[in-house]
Amino acid sequence: MWLFALPAVLINVVIILIPALLTFATAFVVWDGVGLPVWAGFANFQRMFDDPVFWSALGNNLVWTLIFLTVPVIMALVMAAALLVAPKGRLVVQCVIFLPRILAVAVIGRISQGMIFSPVTGVVAWLNEHGFSIADPLADPDRSLYAVAAVDIWHWWGFLTVVFLAAMRQISIDQIEAARLDGAGFFTLLRYVLLPGIQPTLALMMILTVIWSFQVFEFIYIVTRGGPAYGSEVLATLAYRHAFFEGDIGQAAAVSCVMSLFGLCATAVYMRLQIREGAQSA
Amino acid sequence: MTETRWGRAVALTLIGIASFGSLLPIALAVLNAFKTTVEINLNPLGLPARLQWENFASAWRNASLGPSLLHSAELAGLTILMVCLTAAPCAYVLARQQGRGWRFLGFYFMASITVPAQLYLFPLYFLFAKLGLVNSIPAVALIYTAMLLPFAIFLLRTYVLAIPKALEEAAQVDGAKPWQAFFYVILPMMRPGLLTVAIIVGLNAWNEFVIAVTFLQNDNNVTAIVKFYSLTGQYSTDWGEMLAAAIIIVLLPVVVVFVLLQRRFIEGMTAGAVKS
């Protein structure tokens, strides 16, 4: 029977497991990717901890995590509840808000640069002409991270809404009707009936949010490349820069290890949730 | 009753705002793709004086989108084929076999769903460079396969779990070997699952960026998304032409497939997310 699993296991081991172990090893050498690696002990980690950009990137990952644990989650919860009480045309609305999720990040990134944030050709330019004075947020080290986060939220929250709505529809109608008969308004219903009803789904999505927030790469790399002045640099873009622009693979590997360590903690929680559910359904 | 009506009004308003917000950037891109650069500079939100269909022609020509769209299609097709071929048998044994080793394998695949590309990307790149596998579409398809396999295995596993065991047992009583039972009994019943997997895998392969931009670097193998990305900088000037290219690359192919098969998209992408 094990022959059935062999191709899948083999591909996973060759492409993911062995290179991942090599990354751990690489964190302890100095290597430019071409010549022979030289043993360096903890020097890569020492250099990383001395680098202020590493700390600000780590901080940006934490900010990103906090943003994504709150803003899109609240937006999606409210929206899913709204679609639950006003079901007319729900299928179409679901498709519309889900649509951004299937578009390529590279294209969304370019559209946001040119058509939204650009002070020449974007909505920002239009606002400036109509009495609002807004500078290009992508050119501001203090605001670029939030501007990119806004684009990612646009891309992400509709998906979250669809997930929450599917979970809410599993709550028994009787429970919802009873609350409404008792005079519960929209937000009371959301807080005391719907939220507890989808708690397992909510927990899973929050854990996945933490995992993905420490891996965020594409949006930032495409829209700001971590800039300006490292203002939106995160661990993943920092590691990529070390590896492919500075040819410092050991340093890149050290950053990757730290990044994965955070992910690993969240993954442990994720596994517990999944295994508990697996045990229940078995 | 007034309470309900008020609540419904709030809900409808929210739904309206949300739908508008979701469509606005896309609508803006479509609108501006038909304008001249001068028009976009004058008023980004204005309507075009005349529909500039030339934008599409020059985007197609200048960006040589034709070959890059073919590369993307080849890459997506190869990835779909490899994922379906390897995930289906693996999902089958993981659904049917009990015991420690199999449970461990299930946990292993589950954990590898959450591994970031940065954990294996760097050694993999320099390894592939040594082996001459950089700039090879099949090599990138292999990487995508590894990335998407765990998702495919868990989705297909739920399909296998829904198939009654009695069916394969009957086949085995009739003398079928395990691989025959899988091939002739299980696989045909997994078809709807395989279609969902194919759609999601194809979408991911088509849209993928990090691996594609790192591993496919010349005109003989660059994907449409990376081609588009490298042609356009942050302070690009010819936005009309650029947006026309964007529409050819994503809005048309992906959105058409999405509209036709939206149920499968949503099913596949939300699989495993909803807990009861």
- CB nearest A111 (choices: B25, B43, B206): B25
CB-CB under 8 Å, A106 with B226: yes
Distance CA A234, CA A54 (A): 8
Quote the minimal CA–CA distance from A66 to chain B in Å.
19
In A, minimum Cα distance to B234 occurs at A113
B44 to each of B40, B208, B251, how far by Cα in Å? 5, 29, 20
∠ CA B252-B255-B260, nearest 5°, is: 120
- The closest alpha carbon to A158, from A213, A214, A98, A220, belongs to A98
| pLDDT of res. A42 | 94
Of residues A22, A83, A236, nearest to B15 (C-beta): A83
* Residues B114, A252: C-beta atoms closer than 8 Å: no
* Res A155: pLDDT: 96
The pair of structure tokens assigned to B103 is: 């449970």
Percent of chain B residues topping a pLDDT of 90 = 51
Q: Is A131 left (phi over 0), alpha (psi -120 to 50) or beta?
A: left
Report, as an integer, the average pLDDT of B3-29: 86
Question: Which band of pLDDT confidence, cut at 50, 70 and 90, is reported for residue B272?
Answer: confident
Q: What is the pTM of this model?
A: 0.92
Residue with tokens 């659904």: B95
> Both tokens of residue B101?
């080793």
- What is the three-class DSSP state of B98? coil
Q: What is the pLDDT of residue B11?
A: 85
pLDDT of B3 > 70? The answer is no
**Chain A: closest CA distance from residue B122 (Å):** 7
pLDDT at position B263: 86
Superfamily of chain region A47-281? MetI-like (1.10.3720.10)
Confidence of residue B235 (pLDDT cuts 50, 70, 90): low
Query: What is the reported pLDDT for B1?
Result: 37
Domains, chain B: 65-231 (1.10.3720.10)
Element (DSSP H or E) covering residue A29:
strand A29-30
Confidence of residue B149 (pLDDT cuts 50, 70, 90): very high
pLDDT of residue B81: 98
Q: What is the pLDDT of residue B4?
A: 67
Q: Tokens 């760097």 label which residue?
A: B122
Task: Give the span between the Cα atoms of A245 and B23, in whole angstroms.
Answer: 36
Q: Assess contact for B72 and B55: CB atoms under 8 A.
A: no
Q: Give, rounded to a whole angstrom, the gap between the first and last alpha carbons of chain A.
A: 21
Q: Are A205 and B255 within 8 A, CB to CB?
A: no
B-chain residues near A34 (CB < 8 A) = 126
Domain boundaries, chain A: 47-281
What is the H or E stretch that residue A23 is in?
helix A18-26
Count of C-beta atoms within a 10 Å radius of residue B19: 19
Q: What are the chain A neighbours of B242 within 8 Å (beta carbons)?
A: 110, 114
Question: Do the Cβ atoms of B27 and A96 come closer than 8 Å?
Answer: no
Per the DSSP assignment, residues forming a β-bridge with A38 are A30
Searching chain A, which residue's CA lies closest to the CA of residue B4? A185
Question: pLDDT value at position A282?
Answer: 41
Q: Side chain identity at B192, as an amino acid letter?
A: P
Closest C-alpha to B213, from B75, B25, B62: B75
Given a cut of 70, the residues of chain A with pLDDT beneath it are 277-282
Between CA B201 and CA B77 the distance in angstroms is 9
- The residue assigned the tokens 């203090």 is A142
Among A10, A12, A180, most B C-beta atoms within 10 A, so best to mutate, is: A12
- From CA B101, how far away is CA B29, in angstroms rounded? 52
Interface test with A, best of B19, B65, B110, B118 (most A CBs within 10 A): B118
Tokens representing residue A148 in the block:
């990119």
Residues 6+ apart with CB under 8 A from B3: A183, A185
- The CA distance from A116 to the nearest CA of chain B, in Å, is 8
pLDDT bracket for residue B132 (50, 70, 90)? very high
Q: Note whether A138 and B249 are within 8 A (CB).
A: no
The more confident residue out of B8 and B129 is B129
Token code pair at residue A277: 């559910």
Is the distance from CB of B92 to CB of B160 less than 8 angstroms?
Answer: yes
Average confidence (pLDDT) over B21-27: 92
DSSP A99: H
